[in-house]
């Protein structure tokens, strides 16, 4: 947690920018931004995703939607700007559910993996219809490893209330993360022991769509494809489960503006 807080603070003091991940604020929200200390999107949806990483069984889970657009900090000033900038910073997060031994027969003896929350900073570069980003997240629960993700989005927003963006993704992970989700201990009864190393974890594609029903209420959708590579793909857990994964989700979010000081 100390690492994450320090990293976010350093980025905030280095560049005054828009926290636009995953969605930029609608133009009609600029008046709200100018009169509030913090402006953010908050919402909920449902998504179909693997029961656990590399599982061939799918389940419906909640999809939390959150996006920070503007933040006014005493002394530092407006460290997050509501207007479109070339460079932007934002809080990056991810959530992975619990993996139990009885989720699949081949997991017998591998032990339980608790649900995880990952948090960290993200930085993006935007130019015209192209947006490139990089994130680094730390596992606060479930694992104590680092996960990094880079990607490029091509944005189509020719229509006033509708936007689609998407592009390639690449993820890397540390030894701790890889060992938690892809390592096989000697206590396993169905799978051979396996000790993966950190490195490239997966590659894939992601697409997001937003339709602004009103100036503050938005309908959101997403679709993601991921393929495990490297030591992750060589894991007996992945070979017994699934090398390719899909995630689809739909939800709604609402734009909030609050005064903090």
Report the helix count and the strand count for the chain, using DSSP H and E. Answer: 5, 11
Tell me whether residue 62 is in a domain. Answer: yes
Q: Are 32 and 18 in contact (CB under 8 A)?
A: no
Tell me whether residue 120 is in a domain. Answer: yes
Tell me whether residue 258 is in a domain. Answer: no
Tell me whether residue 190 is in a domain. Answer: yes
The structural domain count of the chain equals 1
Q: List, as one string, the DSSP characters of 64-115.
A: EEEEEEEEEETTTEEEE-SS--SEEEEEEEEEE--B-GGGSGGGTTS--B--
Note down the domain range covering 210: 2-253
Q: Are 115 and 103 in contact (CB under 8 A)?
A: no
pLDDT per residue as tens, the chain (261 positions): 333 343 333 333 333 333 334 444 454 454 555 567 788 889 999 999 999 999 999 999 999 888 877 776 666 555 555 455 578 778 898 989 899 999 999 999 999 999 999 999 999 888 889 999 999 999 999 999 999 999 999 999 878 889 999 999 999 999 999 999 999 999 999 999 999 999 999 999 999 999 999 989 999 999 999 999 999 999 999 999 999 999 999 999 999 888 777
Tell me whether residue 259 is in a domain. Answer: no
Q: What CATH number did the domain enclosing 247 receive? A: 2.40.160
């Amino acid at each position: 947690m100390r690492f994450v807080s320090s990293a976010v603070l350093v980025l905030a003091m280095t560049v005054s920018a828009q926290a636009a991940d995953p969605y930029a604020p609608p133009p009609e929200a600029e008046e709200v931004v100018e009169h509030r200390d913090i402006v953010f999107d908050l919402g909920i949806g449902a998504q179909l995703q693997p029961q656990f990483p590399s599982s061939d069984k799918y389940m419906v889970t909640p999809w939390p939607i959150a996006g920070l657009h503007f933040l006014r900090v005493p002394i530092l000033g407006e460290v997050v700007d509501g207007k479109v900038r070339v460079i932007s910073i934002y809080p990056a997060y991810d959530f992975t559910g619990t993996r139990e031994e009885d989720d699949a027969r081949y997991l017998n003896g591998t032990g339980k993996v608790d649900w995880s929350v990952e948090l960290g900073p993200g930085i993006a570069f935007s130019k015209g219809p192209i947006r490139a980003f990089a994130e680094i997240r730390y596992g606060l629960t479930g694992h104590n490893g680092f996960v990094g993700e880079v990607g490029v989005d091509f944005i189509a927003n020719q229509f006033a209330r509708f936007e689609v963006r998407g592009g390639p993704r690449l993820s890397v992970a540390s030894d701790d993360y890889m060992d938690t989700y892809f390592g096989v201990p000697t206590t396993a009864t169905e799978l051979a022991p396996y000790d993966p190393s950190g490195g490239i974890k997966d590659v894939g594609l992601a697409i997001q769509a937003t339709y602004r029903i009103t100036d503050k209420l938005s309908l959101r959708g997403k679709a993601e494809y991921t393929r495990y590579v490297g030591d992750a793909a060589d894991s007996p857990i992945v070979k017994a489960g699934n090398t390719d994964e899909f995630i689809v989700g739909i939800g709604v979010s609402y734009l909030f503006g609050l005064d903090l000081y």
